[in-house]
Copies of this chain bind each other. A is one copy, B any other.
Amino acid sequence: MRLYDYLPSGNGYKVRLLLTQLGISFERIEMDIVDGATRNPDYLNKNPNGRIPLLETDEGIHLAESNAILFFLADGTPMLPDRSLDRARVLQWMFFEQYSHEPNIATSRHWIQHLELTEERRARLEEKRALGHEALAVMEAHLATNDFFVARRYSIADIALFAYTHVAPEGGFDLASYPRVRAWIERVASQLRHIPITQG
Protein backbone atom coordinates (compact mmCIF):
# COMPACT_ATOMS: atom_id res chain seq x y z
CA MET A 1 0.00 0.00 0.00
CA ARG A 2 1.01 3.60 -0.54
CA LEU A 3 -0.01 6.53 1.67
CA TYR A 4 0.06 10.11 0.38
CA ASP A 5 0.68 11.96 3.60
CA TYR A 6 1.95 15.16 5.26
CA LEU A 7 3.86 14.64 8.47
CA PRO A 8 2.29 17.43 10.61
CA SER A 9 -1.22 16.37 9.58
CA GLY A 10 -3.35 14.65 12.21
CA ASN A 11 -5.56 13.29 9.42
CA GLY A 12 -2.52 11.63 7.86
CA TYR A 13 -1.30 10.47 11.26
CA LYS A 14 -4.57 8.58 11.90
CA VAL A 15 -3.86 6.33 8.92
CA ARG A 16 -0.13 5.97 9.66
CA LEU A 17 -0.94 4.97 13.22
CA LEU A 18 -3.58 2.40 12.26
CA LEU A 19 -1.44 0.85 9.50
CA THR A 20 1.42 0.51 12.00
CA GLN A 21 -0.78 -0.99 14.71
CA LEU A 22 -2.30 -3.45 12.24
CA GLY A 23 1.21 -4.43 11.10
CA ILE A 24 0.53 -3.48 7.47
CA SER A 25 3.64 -2.30 5.64
CA PHE A 26 3.27 0.76 3.46
CA GLU A 27 5.23 3.32 1.50
CA ARG A 28 4.74 6.90 2.69
CA ILE A 29 4.82 9.71 0.13
CA GLU A 30 5.30 13.12 1.77
CA MET A 31 3.25 15.87 0.12
CA ASP A 32 3.98 19.52 0.93
CA ILE A 33 0.38 20.72 1.22
CA VAL A 34 1.42 24.29 2.12
CA ASP A 35 3.43 24.43 -1.10
CA GLY A 36 0.47 23.23 -3.22
CA ALA A 37 1.72 19.69 -3.92
CA THR A 38 -1.85 18.34 -3.63
CA ARG A 39 -3.11 20.77 -6.28
CA ASN A 40 -1.02 19.56 -9.21
CA PRO A 41 -2.92 17.79 -12.03
CA ASP A 42 -1.23 14.43 -11.46
CA TYR A 43 -2.33 14.34 -7.81
CA LEU A 44 -5.82 15.67 -8.60
CA ASN A 45 -6.16 12.71 -10.94
CA LYS A 46 -5.70 10.46 -7.92
CA ASN A 47 -7.80 12.58 -5.53
CA PRO A 48 -10.03 15.16 -7.24
CA ASN A 49 -10.66 16.81 -3.86
CA GLY A 50 -6.92 17.65 -3.61
CA ARG A 51 -6.30 16.66 -0.01
CA ILE A 52 -4.23 14.22 2.00
CA PRO A 53 -4.30 11.52 3.26
CA LEU A 54 -4.92 9.34 0.23
CA LEU A 55 -4.55 5.57 0.29
CA GLU A 56 -3.39 3.74 -2.84
CA THR A 57 -3.94 -0.01 -2.68
CA ASP A 58 -1.72 -2.56 -4.42
CA GLU A 59 -4.47 -2.83 -7.06
CA GLY A 60 -4.07 0.91 -7.75
CA ILE A 61 -7.37 1.89 -6.12
CA HIS A 62 -7.45 5.31 -4.45
CA LEU A 63 -9.43 6.04 -1.31
CA ALA A 64 -9.67 9.51 0.28
CA GLU A 65 -10.96 10.96 3.59
CA SER A 66 -8.99 9.87 6.65
CA ASN A 67 -11.94 8.39 8.54
CA ALA A 68 -13.23 6.44 5.52
CA ILE A 69 -9.72 5.00 5.14
CA LEU A 70 -9.68 4.02 8.83
CA PHE A 71 -13.04 2.26 8.46
CA PHE A 72 -11.85 0.41 5.34
CA LEU A 73 -8.56 -0.76 6.88
CA ALA A 74 -10.07 -1.70 10.27
CA ASP A 75 -12.97 -3.72 8.82
CA GLY A 76 -12.63 -7.30 10.04
CA THR A 77 -9.98 -6.43 12.67
CA PRO A 78 -10.36 -5.80 16.43
CA MET A 79 -10.00 -2.07 15.70
CA LEU A 80 -13.61 -1.90 14.44
CA PRO A 81 -16.43 -3.57 16.41
CA ASP A 82 -18.72 -5.99 14.55
CA ARG A 83 -22.11 -5.01 15.94
CA SER A 84 -24.12 -2.70 13.69
CA LEU A 85 -24.92 -0.23 16.49
CA ASP A 86 -21.28 -0.11 17.64
CA ARG A 87 -20.17 0.62 14.08
CA ALA A 88 -22.73 3.41 13.87
CA ARG A 89 -21.34 4.82 17.14
CA VAL A 90 -17.80 4.70 15.73
CA LEU A 91 -19.10 6.65 12.75
CA GLN A 92 -21.01 9.06 14.99
CA TRP A 93 -17.76 9.99 16.74
CA MET A 94 -15.84 10.16 13.46
CA PHE A 95 -18.40 12.56 11.95
CA PHE A 96 -18.32 14.57 15.18
CA GLU A 97 -14.54 14.72 14.77
CA GLN A 98 -14.67 16.00 11.20
CA TYR A 99 -17.50 18.49 11.76
CA SER A 100 -17.24 19.80 15.33
CA HIS A 101 -13.63 19.10 16.30
CA GLU A 102 -11.19 19.20 13.37
CA PRO A 103 -12.36 22.48 11.75
CA ASN A 104 -11.81 24.22 15.08
CA ILE A 105 -8.94 22.50 16.86
CA ALA A 106 -6.87 21.28 13.90
CA THR A 107 -7.43 24.42 11.85
CA SER A 108 -6.32 26.64 14.75
CA ARG A 109 -3.10 24.60 15.03
CA HIS A 110 -2.48 24.80 11.29
CA TRP A 111 -3.02 28.57 11.17
CA ILE A 112 -0.81 29.23 14.19
CA GLN A 113 1.97 26.97 12.88
CA HIS A 114 1.91 27.74 9.18
CA LEU A 115 -0.04 30.87 8.25
CA GLU A 116 0.32 34.58 8.85
CA LEU A 117 -2.03 35.70 11.62
CA THR A 118 -3.92 38.54 9.97
CA GLU A 119 -6.48 40.60 11.90
CA GLU A 120 -9.27 38.56 10.31
CA ARG A 121 -7.66 35.21 11.19
CA ARG A 122 -7.24 36.38 14.80
CA ALA A 123 -10.97 37.08 15.05
CA ARG A 124 -11.78 33.72 13.46
CA LEU A 125 -9.41 32.00 15.91
CA GLU A 126 -11.48 33.37 18.80
CA GLU A 127 -14.58 31.77 17.35
CA LYS A 128 -12.75 28.50 16.72
CA ARG A 129 -11.44 28.59 20.29
CA ALA A 130 -14.99 28.64 21.67
CA LEU A 131 -16.25 25.89 19.35
CA GLY A 132 -13.16 23.75 19.97
CA HIS A 133 -13.71 23.95 23.73
CA GLU A 134 -17.33 22.88 23.20
CA ALA A 135 -16.05 19.77 21.38
CA LEU A 136 -13.53 19.03 24.14
CA ALA A 137 -16.29 19.37 26.75
CA VAL A 138 -18.42 16.82 24.87
CA MET A 139 -15.47 14.41 24.93
CA GLU A 140 -14.76 15.07 28.63
CA ALA A 141 -18.39 14.31 29.51
CA HIS A 142 -18.39 11.06 27.54
CA LEU A 143 -15.17 9.91 29.18
CA ALA A 144 -16.75 10.31 32.64
CA THR A 145 -18.27 6.85 32.18
CA ASN A 146 -16.13 5.41 29.39
CA ASP A 147 -12.44 4.51 29.13
CA PHE A 148 -12.66 4.54 25.34
CA PHE A 149 -15.19 6.09 22.98
CA VAL A 150 -17.05 3.01 21.74
CA ALA A 151 -17.78 -0.49 23.05
CA ARG A 152 -15.45 -0.09 26.06
CA ARG A 153 -12.33 -0.81 24.06
CA TYR A 154 -9.71 0.88 21.90
CA SER A 155 -10.95 1.37 18.31
CA ILE A 156 -10.60 3.63 15.29
CA ALA A 157 -13.00 6.06 17.02
CA ASP A 158 -10.21 6.69 19.53
CA ILE A 159 -7.59 7.03 16.78
CA ALA A 160 -9.76 9.54 14.90
CA LEU A 161 -10.25 11.70 18.02
CA PHE A 162 -6.73 11.27 19.39
CA ALA A 163 -5.00 12.62 16.29
CA TYR A 164 -5.80 16.31 16.83
CA THR A 165 -6.76 16.19 20.53
CA HIS A 166 -3.30 15.26 21.78
CA VAL A 167 -1.74 18.16 19.86
CA ALA A 168 -4.55 20.62 20.73
CA PRO A 169 -2.13 22.69 22.88
CA GLU A 170 -0.20 23.48 19.65
CA GLY A 171 -3.43 25.18 18.51
CA GLY A 172 -3.73 27.19 21.72
CA PHE A 173 -6.07 24.80 23.54
CA ASP A 174 -5.11 24.26 27.17
CA LEU A 175 -6.18 20.77 28.26
CA ALA A 176 -5.74 21.51 32.00
CA SER A 177 -9.49 21.56 32.63
CA TYR A 178 -10.07 18.23 30.86
CA PRO A 179 -8.55 15.62 33.20
CA ARG A 180 -10.47 12.72 31.64
CA VAL A 181 -9.36 13.70 28.17
CA ARG A 182 -5.76 13.81 29.43
CA ALA A 183 -6.09 10.37 31.06
CA TRP A 184 -7.59 8.98 27.83
CA ILE A 185 -4.71 10.47 25.82
CA GLU A 186 -2.34 8.51 28.09
CA ARG A 187 -4.38 5.33 27.59
CA VAL A 188 -4.34 5.68 23.81
CA ALA A 189 -0.61 6.49 23.76
CA SER A 190 0.10 3.33 25.80
CA GLN A 191 -1.52 0.96 23.28
CA LEU A 192 0.65 -1.64 21.59
CA ARG A 193 2.72 -0.38 18.62
CA HIS A 194 1.73 3.23 19.20
CA ILE A 195 3.79 5.78 17.24
CA PRO A 196 4.02 9.55 17.76
CA ILE A 197 2.69 12.00 15.18
CA THR A 198 6.26 13.01 14.33
CA GLN A 199 7.10 9.49 13.11
CA GLY A 200 6.69 8.82 9.39
A41 CA / B2 CA spacing, docked (Å):
47
Would you call B63 and A141 a contact (CB within 8 A)?
A: no
A102 CA / B95 CA spacing, docked (Å):
12
Would you call B71 and A87 a contact (CB within 8 A)?
A: yes
Asked if A49 is at the interface (CB within 8 A of a chain B CB), the reply is yes
Would you call B92 and A95 a contact (CB within 8 A)?
A: no
A and B contact pairs by CB, cutoff 8 A, 13 listed: A49-B100, A63-B85, A63-B88, A63-B92, A65-B92, A66-B95, A67-B95, A72-B88, A72-B91, A75-B84, A94-B95, A95-B95, A103-B103
This chain: copies in complex: 2
> Which residues on the B side are within 8 Å of A120 (C-beta)?
123
Cβ proximity bits A55-78 to B, threshold 8 Å, 1 near / 0 not = 000000101111111011001100
- Shortest CB-to-CB span from A106 to chain B, Å, is 11
> Which residues on the B side are within 8 Å of A94 (C-beta)?
68, 95
- Shortest CB-to-CB span from A41 to chain B, Å, is 12
Asked if A153 is at the interface (CB within 8 A of a chain B CB), the reply is no
> Which residues on the B side are within 8 Å of A71 (C-beta)?
87-88, 91
Would you call A63 and B48 a contact (CB within 8 A)?
A: no
Size of the chain A interface, CB-CB below 8 angstroms:
34
Would you call B91 and A142 a contact (CB within 8 A)?
A: no
> Which residues on the B side are within 8 Å of A182 (C-beta)?
none
Asked if A89 is at the interface (CB within 8 A of a chain B CB), the reply is yes
A49 CA / B103 CA spacing, docked (Å):
15
Which single residue of chain B is at the shortest CB-CB distance from A91? B68
Would you call A92 and B75 a contact (CB within 8 A)?
A: no
> Which residues on the B side are within 8 Å of A75 (C-beta)?
84, 87-88
A96 CA / B65 CA spacing, docked (Å):
7
Asked if A9 is at the interface (CB within 8 A of a chain B CB), the reply is no
Q: Known interface pairs A48-B141, A48-B142, A138-B48. Does A72 touch B84 (Cβ–Cβ under 8 Å)?
A: yes
